[in-house]
Amino acid sequence: MSNRNLGRSVFGDPANTGKLLSMEDAQALLNEWVPNERLRLHMKQVAANMKAWALEKEGADELIARKWEQAGLLHDADWEKYPDAHCRVIIEELEKRNIDPDLIHCIASHGPSVFGVTPVSKMDKMIYAIDELSGFIHAVALIRPTRYEGLEVKSVLKRLKTPGFAAQVSREEIQEAVSAIDCSLEELIQFIIDHQKQVS
């Protein structure tokens, strides 16, 4: 088992605050680094949830919402090509491109137990809470004939209580992540269903 602990908690340069990729460049990076369509869809879903959360719950302006969106869009960008060095490679790439340190910290904190980085900002805490749950909800939708159509929170909760379903998803981490934000598990599941169902 490779050690993916990042061994640091400071990322990027404060002088780059507010510097983001253009959406075209972010999309191009994703297309180049992530040939796997399913993984790309996962990142687009997390991005849609993050952007919607920033706009609807945090009163974010357009620039801040784009920062949340890009963190979601790129958080697993190096997973397919560099699984042993995930998420070190994408972090170093964004540092090289002089991208906003908050965005880089957010990506670094999307898996505290793996990367050893504690979520600090609300953006950090939300990517941690949304990431696994988004993938889990998509897995629940995929086994239904009507997919997201008519998918209810209670069906997702039932699957969460079924240890054999998507067994690799840590229920403890989902609970831990949600307990750090001002939103119940039920509300977050509904929010994610509502905002990722149209992402393709």
Find the helix packing angle between 101-108 and 62-74, rounded to 10°: 40
Task: Give the binding site for Fe ion (CB under 5 A).
Answer: 76, 131
Question: Which is nearer to Fe ion, 47 or 60 (by Cβ)?
Answer: 47
Question: Which is nearer to Fe ion, 64 or 73 (by Cβ)?
Answer: 73
Cβ atoms of 68 and 50 within 8 Å: the answer is yes
Question: Which is nearer to Fe ion, 100 or 131 (by Cβ)?
Answer: 131
Nearest approach in angstroms of CB 121 to Fe ion is 18
CA distance 83 to 64: 29
Nearest approach in angstroms of CB 39 to Fe ion is 8
Nearest approach in angstroms of CB 114 to Fe ion is 11
Question: Which is nearer to Fe ion, 13 or 93 (by Cβ)?
Answer: 93
Nearest approach in angstroms of CB 128 to Fe ion is 10
Which residues lie closer than 8 Å to 2 by C-beta, 6 or more apart? 84, 85
Nearest approach in angstroms of CB 115 to Fe ion is 12
H helix intervals, the chain: 23-33, 37-57, 62-74, 88-96, 101-108, 112-115, 122-142, 153-160, 171-179, 185-196
**Terminus-to-terminus CA distance in the chain, angstroms?**
33
Question: Which is nearer to Fe ion, 76 or 124 (by Cβ)?
Answer: 76
Q: Torsion over CA of 70, 41, 33 and 129, rounded to 10 degrees?
A: 50
